[in-house]
Structure 1
Amino acid sequence: MSGVLSGARDSANPLRQLTIGQLRQRTSLKWREYPDDVLPLWVAEMDVPLAEPVARAITDAVARGDTGYTTGTAYPQALAEFAHRRWGWDGLAVERTTLVPDVMHGVVEALRLVTDVGDAVVVNCPVYPPFYDFVTHAGRRIVEAPLGEDLRIDLGALEDAFRQARAGGRPAAYLLCNPHNPTGVLHTAAELAAVAGLADQHGVRVVADEIHAPVVIGGAQFVPYLSVPGAENGLSLMSASKGWNLAGLRGALLIAGPAAAGDLARVPFEASVSTSHLGVIAHTAAFRDGGEWLDAVLTGLDDNRRLLAALLAEHLPVVRYQPGQATYLAWLDCRALGLGDDPASVFLDRGRVALNPGTPFGAGGGGHVRLNLATAPELITEAVRRMAAAVA
């Protein structure tokens, strides 16, 4: 694979600034899980250098020896200002936030606030696999509400799931993925308001995982769940992790709607004290000063979406792909290839391309793969070439 990225560097596009050799030096999961002959387009890490404002904030903190326990409200203040600039939302109240180690641990804390062990949590499948893992580990049970054929929330299926979850009068929650992972669907204000109405009608509490909120293509608009009518008792998790590639610098915020402030007060102390101080510094800098860098990444991702669609049309025309408006993930329907429930294993074994298999995403995931678009276009081109050769 040497030479795949030769001559590909582009100072204006963070996705084209690193060579394959530089990426191979990384010690994180994406680049160390598979042998060097495998192209890793799977786990949600981006192949980008760190945004300069974030790198500067971290190195300045290290130079000061500022590596103790975190405190203060700089992080939620930075996120509130970002929400105003990007989403036109002024409803993020700093006093209704608390630090949590990361989004999924924050999800668990939120579910513990609104449900008990054995209660049901509704999810829209296919959906991010850790939803299943973390919810089950927390002693709750999953009720699936499958997405529609258009990959959007099916309100009828959601209402049926709410009824099932609330059977016997037990508490229930709805773990909303906004934007949706793996499809990249950006929920509209009308859809989210309908969700809030159904949740209120059936007595279901909504917990929204909004980690991909910053990763939205130009011209599209992210709608925070807590901004829609009827969502006042909702809870949301937000972070700079996906937008600025900060998974290794942990820190997220649990945000409460006006009617959920009392719930937030019950978050245990150990949840917030476990947050990384350097992580909070990094996330704060990203939301406060990382907008220009983020815009460059979003432009590159939009180009990659179009590139992938064109490559699939040319080399794998039976693979169905609906480009999303958000995230840097592509959900590929490979069922027409006749590779069974796990085409990812074929692409890995025969093509040396690592993708996420669809089955862990729940009902509807069989025969699908998830591809990570946050890499150089040359790698996407090579990956599709290998995938096509694997099924030739």
Structure 2
Amino acid sequence: MAEAAAAAPGGPLLVPDEKDLRRRTSAKWRCHPTDVLPLWVAEADVPTPEPVARALREAIDRGDLGYPADHLGYARALDAFSRERWGVPVPEERTFPVGDVMQGVTELIGLLTPPDGTVVISPPLYPPIAELARHRGRRLVEAPLDPAGRMDPEALERAFRSAPGSVYVLCNPHNPTGTVPRPDELDTLAGLAERYGVRVVADEIHGPIVPPGARFTPWLSRPGAGRGFSVLSASKSWNLPGVKAALIVAGPEAERDLASLPEALGHAASHLGVLAHTVALRECGEWLDGFLAGVAANRRLLTRLVDLLLPGVEVLEAEGTYLAWLDCRQLWPGEPDPAARFLERGRVALSPGPEFGTGGEGRVRINLACSPALLAEAVRRMAAAVD
């Protein structure tokens, strides 16, 4: 196991010294006792890219801690990044700043549906999406993923037929499964949305976290997606959730809807966040490439270690995010929440599958954005919990 961990290359992925990590005061490292290995919330064990750290230090040194004045620099940086990585432009006139991706998704749900309207989701799904839709008073209709963790066209059509004029929240790449929708799957979605008058809002926060050999396809790049929206951020890709900023991007047929958002909402983005995210997109592509290489290596390492130490556990095949979705139903048949057992018996904190809704029972989500040594120790502890 130690040899496997040592063989996995890192890039800028990793702060391997657990003592240094435990000095952090963010949620990942402070929500559990110190004997627990935290591989749950989507924070990455990475150093801050130096250009980002320098920009933040310089802003603090000059007392530049006011309100953001102009989000267009962020939009232009995203446009340049998107053109280079995905071959897709992001017109700055169709962008709007928000505090984070979930705020953007929630505001769009409020904009596009009436107070008694419907939101369609495809569980298992990142829990805040359903939680915030309910908080807005919207009814939820489910179109569950298929067993491979991909969109199910028949389930989508049933849901859209039952709720015409609703909003569908697309998670691209998908959280928790890590699956990356193919162009043909997105085209099928676009056709169904058009047929039933459904507006698609895409959470694409993990879009940059797709390794070489795979490809992320932005929702708004597909024919028929023009009435939709995307919400993006540098937050996950460069580990910047503590400096909040995100951008709503409207399709060409949705620009008028975007203009109806209140101007005050644009002040929710942090000034430091806009600075940090802009620098990350403009100057930290090489850093990101190293991060992606480290995540890909850890995904391979996880599969090998699970095969070796946790027979019966299935790691869902995935390409995107730095998360992995594990099916543990053969370990403890009938146990809906194996994460609780791994925490109690193995002192490893994972995200409980049932929190992600339908299809989450008997499963856990594990965070791969850590050192290979820490990941290997986590799997060893999980195996000991089973024994």
Q: Aligning the two structures, in what range does the TM-score lie when normalised by the shorter sequence?
A: over 0.9
Which residue number in structure 1 is paired with residue 214 of structure 2?
A: 220
Check if 1:365 corresponds to 2:360: yes
Query: Which aligned pairs between 1:247-262 and structure 2 lie closer than 5 A?
Result: 247-262=241-256
1:124-139 alignment, distance < 5 Å: 124-139=122-137
How do 1:179-328 and structure 2 match up within 5 A? Answer: 179-328=173-322
What is the alpha-carbon distance in structure 2 between the residues aligned to residue 158 and residue 343 of structure 1?
Answer: 29
**Does the CA contact (< 8 Å) of 2:41 and 2:351 recur in 1?**
yes
Q: 4+ residue runs of structure 1 moved beyond 4 angstroms?
A: none
What pairs up with 1:10-159 in 2 under 5 angstroms? 13-72=11-70, 73-90=72-89, 92-159=90-157
Asked if the contact 1:237–1:252 (Cα under 8 Å) also holds between the matched residues in 2, the reply is yes
Normalising by structure 1, we get a TM-score of: 0.95
Partner AA of 1:77 in structure 2 = R
| Structure 2 partner of 1:337 | 331
| Structure 1 stretch displaced more, 321-330 or 341-350 | 321-330
Give the SS at the match of 1:335. Answer: coil
CA distance in 1, matches of 2:202, 2:330: 33
**What corresponds to 1:350 in structure 2?**
345
Equivalent residue letter for 2:345: R
SS of the aligned residue for 2:355 comes to: helix
Distance 2:149 2:268 in 1: 36
Q: Is the 2:74–2:274 contact (alpha carbons within 8 Å) kept by the matching residues of 1?
A: yes
Answer whether contact 1:15 1:300 (CA < 8 A) is retained.
Answer: yes
C-alpha root-mean-square deviation of aligned residues, in Å? 1.6
SS where residue 254 of structure 2 aligns? helix
Residues 145-200 of structure 1 deviation map (CA, whole Å, 9 limit, x = unaligned): 0111121100000010111222xxxx310000000000110111111111011001
Any gaps of 5 or more consecutive residues in structure 1? none
Tell me if structure 2 keeps the 8 A contact 1:207–1:236: yes
Superposition deviation, residue 12 in structure 1 = 6.0
What is the rounded CA distance, in whole Å, between the counterparts of 1:324 and 1:12 in structure 2?
A: 19
SS in 1 for 2:147: coil
- Give TM-score scaled by structure 2 length: 0.96
Q: Which amino acid letter does the alignment assign opposite residue 373 of structure 1?
A: L
Deviates more, 1:30-39 or 1:331-340: 331-340
Paired with 2:93 and 2:31, the residues of 1 have a C-alpha distance of 41
What is the letter of the counterpart of residue 45 of structure 2?
D
The amino acid of 1:353's aligned partner reads V
- CA offset at residue 11 of structure 1? 10
Aligned-partner Cα distance in 2 for 1:155–1:286: 36
- Kindly state the Cα deviation for residue 28 of structure 1 after the two structures are TM-superposed: 0.2
Do the aligned residues in 2 keep the contact of 1:18 with 1:49 (CA within 8 Å)?
no
Asked whether the equivalents of residues 29 and 38 of structure 2 are also in contact (C-alpha less than 8 Å), the reply is yes
For each residue in 1:28-85, what CA deviation from the matched residue of structure 2 results, as whole angstroms up to 9, or x when unmatched? 0000000000000000000011011111111111122221111221000000000000
Rate the CA distance shift 1:328–1:11 in 2: closer, same or farther, 3 A: closer
- Residues 79-129 of structure 1, C-alpha deviations (whole Å, 9 max, x = no match): 000000000112x11000000010001101111111011211011110101
Specify every segment of 5 or more residues in structure 2 that has no aligned partner in the other structure, as ranges: none
- Residue 20 of structure 1 and its aligned partner are, at CA, apart by 0.4
State the alpha-carbon separation in 1 of the partners of residues 16 and 9 from structure 2: 10
Aligned equivalent of 1:387: 382
Alignment check: 8 A CA contact 1:11 1:17 kept: no
Q: Deviations over 1:338-360 (max 9, x none)?
A: 15000000000000000000001
How far, CA to CA, are the matches of 1:47 and 1:82 in structure 2? Answer: 23
Question: Residues 309 and 323 of structure 1 are in contact (CA less than 8 Å); yes or no, is this contact kept in structure 2?
Answer: no
Give how far 1:332 is off: 0.2
User: What one-letter code is carried by the residue in structure 2 that aligns with 1:289?
Assistant: E
